Amino acid sequence: MSPTRSGFIAIIGAPNVGKSTLLNQLLGQKIAITSEKPQTTRHRILGVVHQPEAQLIFLDTPGIHRARGTLNVRMVEVAMKVMGDVDLVVFLTDATYPDNPSDGIILKYLRKRDLPVILTINKVDLMEKGRLLPQIEQWQNAYPFRAIVPISALERIQLDELVAEMVAVLPEGPRYYPEETVTDQTERFIAAEIIREKVFRLTGEEIPYAVAVTVESFKKRPDKNMVDIHAAIHVERNSQKGIIIGKAGRMLKRIGEQAREDIERMVGRQVFLKLWVRVQKNWTRDERAIRRFGY
């Protein structure tokens, strides 16, 4: 019988390279929110993949970039801290953006640490095959990666190959989590993240970065097989509040409808979702507010 391999794996990369999409695909369900806008992920999110002879414990991280502003600095600190205590780093890059300056920042950090690193080149479905080989050669010259695996997280291209490479690098060890564990995040936390994702997807450029979501109440009603959720969407200015509410409340209604559908899939029962919007002036620059919102 083969020994069990297990370990903690940090998924790192620049903003918007597909880290959360990759994590969700590996887990087979949604625990991390996704968006076309960068810096969607603000927390360290843990997800567990169980295999017959291995347990892979993933830590999705905020995008690493040259941070400005109190909130962004805090997010990059979270990502860097995660890398200090893992068995393997999966460095995700974007095939369609080969000269991303943030990749250089990450390489500089990796060179200071003695960690096994697998390079994963994402979004290969969006480029011509002839342009991929020069990228791989360039990366091979830049760093001694344990492996380089081109993938498409969205289209599930080469994900099995990536998992096999990760398992090969992990040390022998115990299973840290029970078989039924998928994440250490609560349903309450994921519900708040889903609501924030819908704000990202449905509103314009300025809004998402000024938004935090807090779930004020999360109550299961066994008698009606229902969950009652009350949540507040926090913004920095009255003008942003108006945009999120929308004309005659239409935008807030759309946010609520789309969030409710995703939350119902997560909890496996009907959801009554009540949303409102609060103005917390300049909260992204306020250390106390940032801590209160859990960042």
Give the predicted TM-score (pTM) of the model.
Answer: 0.67
Q: SS3 helix, strand, coil % of the chain, rounded to 5?
A: 40, 25, 35
Question: Can you give the pLDDT at residue 36?
Answer: 46
Region 103-124 average pLDDT = 89
Q: pLDDT of 69-79, one tens digit each? A: 444 555 556 65
Q: Is the dihedral of CA 73, 9, 123, 104 positive or negative?
A: positive
Question: Can you give the pLDDT at residue 195?
Answer: 92
Q: Which residues of 254-277 are buried (b: 16+ CB within 10 A; e: fewer)?
A: ebbebbbebbeebbeeebebebeb
CA–CA dist 68, 190 (Å, integer): 27
Contacts of 140 (CB under 8 A, 6+ apart): 148
Rg of the chain, C-alpha, whole Å: 20
Q: Which residues of 156-174 are buried (b: 16+ CB within 10 A; e: fewer)?
A: ebbbeebbebbbebbeeee
The least confident of 60-74, 197-211, 279-293 is 60-74
CA–CA dist 287, 24 (Å, integer): 30
Question: Can you give the pLDDT at residue 65?
Answer: 40
Burial class (CB in 10 A: 0-12, 13-18, 19+), 136: middle
Q: How many CA atoms lie within 13 A of 103 on its CB side?
A: 20
Going by the DSSP 8-state scheme, the letter that residue 27 receives in this structure is H
Could you identify the residue written with the tokens 């993938």? Answer: 151
Q: pLDDT of 128-142, one tens digit each? A: 878 899 999 999 999
Of residues 286 and 215, the one with the higher pLDDT is 215
Question: Can you give the pLDDT at residue 81?
Answer: 63
Question: Can you give the pLDDT at residue 189?
Answer: 85
Question: Can you give the pLDDT at residue 20?
Answer: 83
Q: pLDDT of 147-194, one tens digit each? A: 999 999 999 999 999 999 999 999 999 998 888 888 877 888 889 988
The least confident of 48-57, 229-238, 278-287 is 278-287
Question: Can you give the pLDDT at residue 187?
Answer: 84
CA–CA dist 49, 27 (Å, integer): 6
Asked if residue 36 lies in contact with residue 173, where contact means CB atoms within 8 angstroms, the answer is no
Strand partners, 150: 121
Question: Can you give the pLDDT at residue 40?
Answer: 44
Q: pLDDT of 74-108, one tens digit each? A: 555 665 566 667 899 999 999 999 888 888 888 88
Confidence tier at 253 by pLDDT (50, 70, 90):
very high
Cα-based distances in Å from 193 to 140, 186, 265: 36, 11, 14
Question: Can you give the pLDDT at residue 149?
Answer: 97
CA–CA dist 267, 36 (Å, integer): 25
Q: pLDDT of 5-56, one tens digit each? A: 999 998 888 878 888 889 889 988 766 655 444 444 444 557 889 998 999 9
Going by the DSSP 8-state scheme, the letter that residue 252 receives in this structure is H
Asked if residue 193 lies in contact with residue 33, where contact means CB atoms within 8 angstroms, the answer is yes
Asked if residue 177 lies in contact with residue 149, where contact means CB atoms within 8 angstroms, the answer is no
Give me the domains of the chain, ranges plus CATH numbers: 5-169 (3.40.50.300), 187-292 (3.30.300.20)
